[in-house]
Chain A
Amino acid sequence: MKKLRWPISRGRMILLILVAQGVFSMVYRFAFGLGSCTALTDRFPWGLWIAFDVMAGVALAAGGFVLAGTYYIFNLKQFRPLVKPAVLTAFLGYLMVVFGLLCDLGRPLVIWHPLVFWQEHSAMFELSICVSMYTTVLFLEFSPILLEGLGKRAWAEKMHRAIIPLAILGIVLSTMHQSSLGTLFVLMPYWLHHLWYTPLLPWFFLLTALAVGPAMVTVESYLCARSLRRPFELTLLGRLSRFTRWVLALYLGVRCFDLWQRGSLALALVPSLESVAFYLELTAGVIVPLFLFFWPTTKQNTGQLVTANALVVLGVILNRANVAVTGLIRTKGDIYVPSLSEFSVTIGLVALAILGYSLAMEYLPVLQALPAAPAQARAAAKAYPWREEPLPSRSGSSS
């Protein structure tokens, strides 16, 4: 493992400041209680931390199990360059989810209680078991990268041998808890607006997670390629989007059929806060990306491909926010707007995840070595003059 260097770059300095302000808000929350700094009330006991940090966070981290499955289980070797970054993001994403949850729980010290006091009639019970197990699985899937980065190559190889059972376990746990996030709301037919409420919510949450996992991997690859001056894996990610678009198309079809079949489609025709949110979510997050995905030039066009995938990400965030907050406003007869402290903690956690990602990219063998490209190396050397070795590479750190 390379030694950490000082001074750190400006980007990381900003991230550190964001993390620090998040930590401050978190300390404040623990010192004075939830009521002191959040906008949560008895009418809206769940807010930004559940809707975004947990619900959207878990969905956006779905790339980990989707790509682990694609590569290790379905053995589609071409996707190899995407697997390690995806597993890393998923692991960091779940850490963010767990931190967010610790912050949101009233009694975070006893977060382990579901492991002891089983209550199998509760979707929340299933969720907590699966998330805790899956975070462990992700750590184990990620451990070969970490061990290799620490120079323990032999241990890394030993861990790597368990990768297929781990990938299977990861897929099982993910299928279960991605869907049970939707199951949580199946219990609320009298609260949740019927543009979102359906007994099929678990399936919709699973389908959107399957679509947004690869979409998030694409967006990250793009950002990573830009910041590390690496080439963007256009062909590969274009191929990945062929999977995403069918999942998304299936979701749109079943969603519309379900609305029609339950007689809720008329609700979309009434002008209201809910119908506007519904159209925004479905148009920006599903229909436009689908249109782009099926557009013949998208697979060869970085801008179009990244836009389509970024819209899928946005759509899933909107969907989770609508299910957890917007869809409840009418029946609760109240409105919820997150407080500054809630935003502060969320921003801090996202910054922490990005910082972790960027540090891992630099100090751990996550990305594949590139064939020597002098022009790129020069560009990178210009961008990061303090680095002896401009491009992170597997061979550089392990030998």
Chain B
Amino acid sequence: MKLTRRDLIKKGVVGFLAAAVAELAGDLAAVEARDEKKGADDDWGLLIDISRCMGCSRCVAACSAANPDHTGKVLELSDIRLLKGLSSKNLSYVRRVKLKRDGRTAYSFVKTQCLHCLDPACVSACPVGALRKSERGPVTYDASRCIGCRYCQMACPFGVPTYEWDSTYPQVRKCQLCWSRLEQGARPACVEACPVQAVIFGKRSELLAEASKRLQSGKYVQEIFGLRQVGGTSVLYLSDVPFADLGFPVHMGEEPLPPLTWNVLNKVPVMATTVAAAMAGVALYTNRLHPGQQTGADEEKNEEERE
């Protein structure tokens, strides 16, 4: 009776582990197939031309109107002037950079929001799949799944996701490229609000073509920010001032971030099986767990009884 039960447990554990490993391996294969299938050419994105932006912040006002905070508050231009960065109340913001150009002071304006990475760190970080890279490009957030661990905030190399610290049932807030407007055939609110077309909306391939066309005019630094940084982003920047001077993270490499963790995590099934097998082997050897002999646990019980 005892032995059969123990055998059952053993078989159960081994069977469970084997099934879990097989299941996970299947999932992983499916995920990798999905990753390889799609190129980014058709992803929707933005092209932001810093040389055109005059810092009027109408895009931020439109953004706030389209995405009010959890109290329903929409920011006025007077509120927007006081902003210091992204927050759960403003998903975008125009950063003012003071520069010396040809010996005199000039300002550049950098529209800042989620860059919608092609391989986003936040999406790989989210333990419940609340953040997703949608088929059409935008990185979207599903609050109904979110547990509020805030790993996305830690993971994002650009420091984009923000949190509703003042709420008792908070959400992560980030630009979703006006996903609900896109579904209705409209363009993102910021794009429609811009009076000088400093930000344009389109497919990534079209935006890149437009960007290379503009680069030939000679007024720009010969670089598209977002072309390759951390694996490429759906939001692209052109600038007439070196990106480093504007405080862009120019030190970032071309490698996407999610494979860093994936290279560790994809070894988990093998590691777990190896550790389990090794420990079971040691236990079988040291406890001589075969019929007619005692287990460590039994001996302990006997010892206790002797006491």
The chain A residues found within 8 Å of chain B, CB to CB, are 30-36, 40-43, 45-46, 69, 71-75, 77, 80, 105-108, 110-111, 113-114, 117-128, 157, 160-165, 167-169, 171-172, 175-176, 179-180, 183-184, 186-191, 199, 202, 332, 369, 394-395
Cα A46 to Cα B13 with chains together (Å): 36
- Residues from chain B with Cβ under 8 Å of A183 in the complex: 261, 264-265
* A120, B252: Cβ atoms closer than 8 Å: no
* A161, B5: Cβ atoms closer than 8 Å: yes
* A124, B127: Cβ atoms closer than 8 Å: yes
Known: A161-B6, A162-B9, A187-B124. A35 touches B260 (CB 8 A): no
* A106, B126: Cβ atoms closer than 8 Å: no
Residue from B147, B163, B262 whose CB has the most chain A CB atoms within 10 Å:
B147
Of the stretches B43-51, B181-189, B216-224, B276-284, the one at the interface is B276-284
* B170, A106: Cβ atoms closer than 8 Å: yes
- Residues from chain A with Cβ under 8 Å of B150 in the complex: 45-46, 106
* A35, B165: Cβ atoms closer than 8 Å: yes
Q: List 10 A-B contacts (CB under 8 A).
A: A33-B170, A35-B165, A42-B86, A106-B171, A124-B125, A128-B127, A175-B271, A175-B272, A187-B257, A369-B307
Cα A121 to Cα B124 with chains together (Å): 5
Q: Does B245 contact A (CB under 8 A)?
A: no
Within 8 A of A (CB), among B13-30: 13, 24, 27-28
* A186, B2: Cβ atoms closer than 8 Å: no
Q: Min CB distance, B226 to chain A, in Å?
A: 15
How many pairs of A and B residues are in contact by the CB < 8 Å rule?
207
Which one, A35, A41, A73, A110, contacts B283 given CB within 8 A? A73
Q: Does B242 contact A (CB under 8 A)?
A: no
Which one, B249, B261, B297, contacts A121 given CB within 8 A? B261
Cα A46 to Cα B252 with chains together (Å): 23
Known: A199-B260, A202-B264. A36 touches B166 (CB 8 A): yes
- Residues from chain A with Cβ under 8 Å of B289 in the complex: 164
Q: Does B227 contact A (CB under 8 A)?
A: no
| Chain A binding surface SS class | helix
The chain B residues found within 8 Å of chain A, CB to CB, are 2, 5-6, 9-10, 13, 24, 27-28, 31, 85-88, 121, 123-130, 145-151, 153-155, 157, 159, 161-171, 249, 251-252, 257-258, 260-265, 268, 271-272, 275-276, 279-280, 282-283, 286-287, 289, 295-297, 300-301, 304, 307
* B126, A119: Cβ atoms closer than 8 Å: yes
Instruction: Return the chain B residue nearest A156 by Cβ.
Output: B301
Which one, B123, B127, B163, B276, contacts A114 given CB within 8 A? B127
- Residues from chain B with Cβ under 8 Å of A157 in the complex: 301
- Residues from chain A with Cβ under 8 Å of B145 in the complex: 113, 117
Instruction: Return the chain A residue nearest B148 by Cβ.
Output: A106
* B124, A107: Cβ atoms closer than 8 Å: no
